[in-house]
């Protein structure tokens, strides 16, 4: 009979994120090859784990067609050289795909069905623009089940500005400037590079090695952001500068139970405490992390004051500010994204959940005084997801 087990985050990696589109570094690179590169890099870093011991490979993508189709978890496992005995599957919760891949295999580990698993996500937004190939049920609109604005992520961000007038464009721009500055400081300190797997990519000018995120803008200023257009609405407040960039990239992580940790001599970087997903109005999907976090905190018997580090996906600056305002936190709360976020690195949809975990794990190493942290994100079509983690480096 299976027994329950504590779930640990052992290690995680990602490819550098590239700008989506013909001018991006990954334009001629397949999405599944990006994911394979991440998985191979992860396995090379963890050679004490026998490949045959991996019980599952769960890979997320928001658009599961073309080079993001063919049961990604299984096809990537084969292409990465894992034994054919290792199974895999694909998963989708749009922006929270990789987060859901991780929590889903974690549930299997917790109940004793798995000992060790790989979870991650990939999104090639150049090959698969948001909404490509979708055929939404017409009843969504004709029966007014969902407002048409819910299908435009930028418009959902504008709706947050409408709903919360105190969340001004100036506050959003200021948050974006800070995110870029924090990301640059993290790069200068060598923090981000530790978990990047370099990728060889071809272009018209030949082959190149991609070893940094392509869309960072460390010189971003309030003056520069003030001049940007508002593409989703005339005289709006959401711009390319206070939104996450359209990017291509892949992430992968290893999760394991206590038996595997002991058997293979693994050193966990985080322990999973609990997680929660919640639904909200699709038209204001950015508030999704709020109820998800409230549910997760209640399940863990914690309050926000117990959370010492927060990695929240910066889909839009206003979306993060709606979260911090709700919990009574200042815009520059030092707990929030200390190494910057998606406004600087980009947001390749289904891959981003594990990027949040990578950064939180690194921050835990630097902050042994912090016991609990969280990764949280909004999800298209009105959802939110939150995972609470415990720091194994914690010292009273």
Asked if 253 is an active-site residue, the reply is no
How many domains does the chain divide into? 1
Residue 263 contacts by C-beta under 8 Å, 6 or more apart in sequence?
Answer: 115
- Separation of alpha carbons 18 and 199, rounded Å: 11
Active-site residue identified among 95, 128, 161, 253: 95
* Residue 132: inside a domain: no
Asked if 95 is an active-site residue, the reply is yes
* Residue 167: inside a domain: no
* Residue 348: inside a domain: yes
Active-site residue identified among 127, 235, 347, 367: 347
Read off the pLDDT of residues 101-154 as tens digits, 9 standing for 90 and up.
999 999 999 999 999 999 999 999 999 998 888 888 888 877 878 888 888 899
Read off the pLDDT of residues 338-359 as tens digits, 9 standing for 90 and up.
999 999 999 999 999 999 999 9
pLDDT of residue 2: 56
* Residue 223: inside a domain: no
pLDDT of residue 303: 98
Read off the pLDDT of residues 268-327 as tens digits, 9 standing for 90 and up.
999 999 999 999 999 999 999 999 999 999 999 999 999 999 999 999 999 999 999 999
pLDDT of residue 141: 76
Domain, as residue range, for 322: 5-127+243-388
Residue 8, SS3? Answer: strand
* Residue 374: inside a domain: yes
Mean pLDDT of the chain: 96
* Residue 306: inside a domain: yes
pLDDT of residue 228: 97
Asked if 235 is an active-site residue, the reply is no
Read off the pLDDT of residues 37-88 as tens digits, 9 standing for 90 and up.
999 999 999 999 999 999 999 999 999 999 999 999 999 999 999 999 999 9
* Residue 138: inside a domain: no
The percent of residues above 90 in pLDDT, for the chain, comes to 91
* Residue 189: inside a domain: no
CATH number of domain containing 49: 3.40.47.10
Q: Does the pLDDT value for residue 1 go beyond 60?
A: no
Provide DSSP, 90-141. EE--GGGHHHHHHHHHHHHHHTTS-SEEEEEEEEETTTS-TTTT----THHH
């Amino acid at each position: 009979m299976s027994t329950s087990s504590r779930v640990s985050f052992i290690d995680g990696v990602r490819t550098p994120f590239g700008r989506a589109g013909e001018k991006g570094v990954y334009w001629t690179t397949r999405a599944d090859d990006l994911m394979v590169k991440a998985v191979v890099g992860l396995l090379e870093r963890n050679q004490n784990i026998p490949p045959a011991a991996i019980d599952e490979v769960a890979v997320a993508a928001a658009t599961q067609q073309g080079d993001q189709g063919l049961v990604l978890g299984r096809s990537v496992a084969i292409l990465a050289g894992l034994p054919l005995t290792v199974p895999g599957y694909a998963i989708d919760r749009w922006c929270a795909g990789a987060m859901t891949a991780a929590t889903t295999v974690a549930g299997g580990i917790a109940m004793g069905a798995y000992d060790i698993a790989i979870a991650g996500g990939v999104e090639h937004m150049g090959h698969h623009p948001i909404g490509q190939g979708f055929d939404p049920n017409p009843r969504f609109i004709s029966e007014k089940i969902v407002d048409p604005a819910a299908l435009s992520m930028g418009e959902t961000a504008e709706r947050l500005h409408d709903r919360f007038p105190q969340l001004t464009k100036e506050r959003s721009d200021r948050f974006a400037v800070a995110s870029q500055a924090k990301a640059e400081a993290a790069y200068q300190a060598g923090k981000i590079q530790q978990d990047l797997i370099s990728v060889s990519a071809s272009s018209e000018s030949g082959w190149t090695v991609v070893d940094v995120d392509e869309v960072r803008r460390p010189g971003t200023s309030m003056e520069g952001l003030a001049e940007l257009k508002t593409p989703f609405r005339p005289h709006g407040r959401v711009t390319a500068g206070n939104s996450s960039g359209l990017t291509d990239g892949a992430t992968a992580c290893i999760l394991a139970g206590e038996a595997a940790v002991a058997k293979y001599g693994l050193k966990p970087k985080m322990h999973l405490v609990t997680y929660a997903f919640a639904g909200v109005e699709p038209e204001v999907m950015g508030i999704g992390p709020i109820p998800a976090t409230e549910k997760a905190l209640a399940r863990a018997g914690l309050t926000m004051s117990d959370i010492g580090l927060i990695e929240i996906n910066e889909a839009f600056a206003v979306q993060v500010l709606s979260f911090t305002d709700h919990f009574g936190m200042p815009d520059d709360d030092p707990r929030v994204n200390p190494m910057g976020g998606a406004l600087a690195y980009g947001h390749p949809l289904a891959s981003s959940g594990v990027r949040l975990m990578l950064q939180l794990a690194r921050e835990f190493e630097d902050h042994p005084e912090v016991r609990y942290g969280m990764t949280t994100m909004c999800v298209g079509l009105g959802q939110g997801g939150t995972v609470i983690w415990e720091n194994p480096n914690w010292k009273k």
